[in-house]
C-alpha cells in the first residue's frame, strides 16, 4: 500500500517534470533560447575593446556568438553542475544573466533569467547584438562607411566615486633634441627619474579607463601626453615598458603620418602595448573656442571615428587644443566624450565637472621637487 503511494507520487512528479520540459519550463524560466540553424556570417564587423569579431545575421537581425563575445570582453567560463556556464557581468537589477553552452540552465538561486531571443544551434549560442549592448547599457560607435561598429568599456564620468584626488600630469614630447618649442620636450632622463619616483613611492599610474575603480587604487596618477609626437613611440614607450607604467596619448588626427608625428601603425602598436590609451586631441588642433557648431561636431566626432578605425577602440576623452574652450565647446565635448581635459587648473578631484578636468603641466624645466609637489595630495 505505502509502496504504491510512493510509486504514484514518483510517477506524478515525473509527469510534472515532463510537462515542464514540454512547456519549456515557461513558468520558471520565461526566457528560453530559440533552437535553430546558426545565423550566417555577415560582412559587418564589430570591435569589442579593440578585438575584431564577426557579426552574424538571421532574418535581418544581427547576432553575436556569445562565446566569442565573452572571450573578447574577458569574461570567464566555468563548469557548473556539469555544464559550461558563462556568468556575464550583465545584471538586470540584482539578477545576473547567464549564458550557457548547453540547453539546461544552471540552478543556482541567484540565477533565474536568460536572455530572450537567442539562437542555439546545438553547439553555439547566438544573441541579438542590440540586446546584448542594451543589457550592458553601452552604446556602439557606428561606422557605416566601414560597415563596422565599436564597443569599448569605459567609465561614465557621472557615476565615478567622488572626491578622490587624481593628479593629472600634462606632457608633450620626450626628447633631448627639441626641434620645436623647447619647453615641450621633457628629457628622457628626467622622465625616467619621474617614473622611477612614482613606482618607488607607491603611486599607480592609471588610464581614464581605470577611474571606475579609483576607490581601490593606491595613489592614482594620470600621465597624459598631448599632440602625438613620434617620440612617444621611440622614447616614451620603452620607458613605460621598463617601469610597467600606463600613460594616455592625445592624438591630433590631421598630423598623423606627418614629420615628427606618430604614424597610424605606431598608434596601433601603442594601443596594443597594454600601456598606452589613445584618446583625441581633435582633428586640426584649432582652438575649440573659435569653432562653429558644425566644426565642433567635425573636430570631436570625426577624430573619435578616425582613431577608432586605427585602434578598434572608441576614444572617450578629449584634450582641448591649447586648453581653450567656450560654453558651446564644453557642451559639445559633453555630448561626445566622457572627459574633457584642460591644460591647467591644479589637481583633478573625481566628481569635478567632466568636461573641465584640470591638469598640471610638466615641462622641460620641471625639476623633481616641483614634480613631487604636483603629485602630492592631501591623501598622498
* Interface residue list for Zn ion (CB under 5 A): 226-227
Dihedral angle computed from the Cα positions of residues 44, 338, 155 and 234, in that order, rounded to the nearest 10 degrees: 80
Toward Zn ion, which CB reaches closer, 62 or 226?
226
CB of 341 to Zn ion, least distance (A): 10
User: Alpha carbon of 48 to those of 277, 279, 367: distances in Å?
Assistant: 15, 17, 41
Residue 344 to residue 330: CA distance in whole angstroms: 16
Q: Note whether 67 and 124 are within 8 A (CB).
A: yes
Cell of 115: 536572455
Toward Zn ion, which CB reaches closer, 150 or 229?
229
Q: Which residues contact 355 (CB under 8 A, 6 or more apart)?
A: 325, 330, 331, 333, 334, 337, 339, 340
Nearest residue to the partner Zn ion, using Cβ: 226
Toward Zn ion, which CB reaches closer, 226 or 314?
226
CB of 227 to Zn ion, least distance (A): 5
Residue 355 to residue 157: CA distance in whole angstroms: 9
CB of 65 to Zn ion, least distance (A): 41
Q: Note whether 271 and 311 are within 8 A (CB).
A: yes
Cell of 26: 515557461
Toward Zn ion, which CB reaches closer, 120 or 261?
261
CB of 231 to Zn ion, least distance (A): 15
Q: Note whether 251 and 228 are within 8 A (CB).
A: yes
CB of 281 to Zn ion, least distance (A): 6
CB of 345 to Zn ion, least distance (A): 16
The β-bridge partners of 64 are: 127
Toward Zn ion, which CB reaches closer, 129 or 249?
249
Q: How many residues does the chain have?
A: 380
Toward Zn ion, which CB reaches closer, 172 or 219?
172
CB of 291 to Zn ion, least distance (A): 15
Q: Note whether 208 and 339 are within 8 A (CB).
A: yes
Q: Note whether 347 and 165 are within 8 A (CB).
A: yes
CB of 180 to Zn ion, least distance (A): 11
CB of 280 to Zn ion, least distance (A): 11
Q: Which residues contact 22 (CB under 8 A, 6 or more apart)?
A: none
Q: Which residues contact 40 (CB under 8 A, 6 or more apart)?
A: 56, 57, 58
Toward Zn ion, which CB reaches closer, 275 or 341?
341
Q: Which residues contact 20 (CB under 8 A, 6 or more apart)?
A: 27, 28
Cell of 327: 560654453
CB of 282 to Zn ion, least distance (A): 9
Across 11-42, b (16+ Cβ under 10 Å) vs e yields eeeeeeeeeeeeeeeeeeeeebbeeeebbeee
Toward Zn ion, which CB reaches closer, 134 or 344?
344
Toward Zn ion, which CB reaches closer, 227 or 299?
227
Burial of 344 (0-12, 13-18, 19+ CB in 10 A): exposed
User: Alpha carbon of 117 to those of 133, 209, 329: distances in Å?
Assistant: 14, 31, 41
Toward Zn ion, which CB reaches closer, 180 or 238?
180
Amino acid at each position: 500500500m505505502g509502496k504504491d503511494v510512493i510509486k504514484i507520487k514518483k510517477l506524478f512528479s515525473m509527469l510534472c517534470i515532463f510537462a515542464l520540459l514540454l512547456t519549456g519550463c515557461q513558468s520558471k524560466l520565461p526566457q528560453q533560447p530559440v533552437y535553430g540553424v546558426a545565423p550566417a556570417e555577415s560582412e559587418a564587423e564589430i570591435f569589442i575593446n579593440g578585438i575584431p569579431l564577426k557579426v552574424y545575421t538571421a532574418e535581418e537581425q544581427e547576432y553575436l556568438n556569445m562565446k566569442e563575445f565573452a572571450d573578447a570582453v574577458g569574461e570567464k567560463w566555468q563548469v557548473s553542475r556539469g555544464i559550461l556556464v558563462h556568468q556575464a557581468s550583465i545584471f538586470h537589477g540584482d539578477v545576473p544573466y547567464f549564458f550557457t553552452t548547453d540547453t539546461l540552465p544552471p540552478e543556482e538561486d541567484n540565477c533565474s533569467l536568460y536572455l530572450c531571443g537567442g539562437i542555439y544551434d546545438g553547439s553555439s549560442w547566438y544573441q541579438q547584438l542590440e540586446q546584448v549592448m542594451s543589457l550592458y547599457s553601452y552604446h556602439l560607435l557606428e561606422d557605416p562607411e566601414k560597415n563596422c561598429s565599436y564597443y569599448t568599456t569605459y567609465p561614465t564620468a557621472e557615476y565615478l566615486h567622488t572626491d578622490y584626488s587624481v593628479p593629472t600630469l600634462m606632457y608633450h614630447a620626450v626628447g633631448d633634441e627639441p626641434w620645436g618649442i623647447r619647453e615641450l620636450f621633457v628629457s628622457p632622463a628626467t622622465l625616467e627619474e619621474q617614473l622611477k619616483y612614482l613606482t618607488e613611492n607607491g603611486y599607480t599610474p592609471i588610464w581614464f579607463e581605470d577611474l571606475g575603480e579609483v576607490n581601490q587604487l593606491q595613489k592614482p596618477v594620470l600621465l597624459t601626453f598631448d599632440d602625438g609626437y613620434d617620440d612617444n613611440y621611440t622614447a616614451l614607450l620603452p620607458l613605460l615598458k621598463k617601469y610597467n607604467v600606463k600613460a594616455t596619448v592625445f592624438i591630433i588626427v590631421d598630423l598623423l603620418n606627418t614629420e615628427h608625428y606618430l604614424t597610424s601603425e605606431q598608434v596601433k602598436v601603442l594601443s596594443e602595448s597594454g600601456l598606452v590609451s589613445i584618446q583625441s586631441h581633435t582633428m586640426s588642433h584649432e582652438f575649440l573656442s573659435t569653432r562653429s557648431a558644425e566644426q565642433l561636431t567635425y573636430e570631436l566626432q570625426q577624430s573619435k571615428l578616425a582613431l577608432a578605425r586605427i585602434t578598434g577602440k572608441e576614444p572617450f576623452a578629449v584634450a582641448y587644443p591649447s586648453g581653450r574652450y567656450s560654453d558651446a565647446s564644453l557642451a559639445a565635448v559633453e555630448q561626445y566624450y566622457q572627459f574633457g581635459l584642460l591644460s591647467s587648473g591644479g589637481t583633478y578631484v573625481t566628481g569635478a565637472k567632466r568636461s573641465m578636468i584640470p591638469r598640471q603641466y610638466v615641462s622641460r624645466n620641471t625639476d623633481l621637487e616641483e614634480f613631487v609637489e604636483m603629485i602630492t595630495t592631501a591623501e598622498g
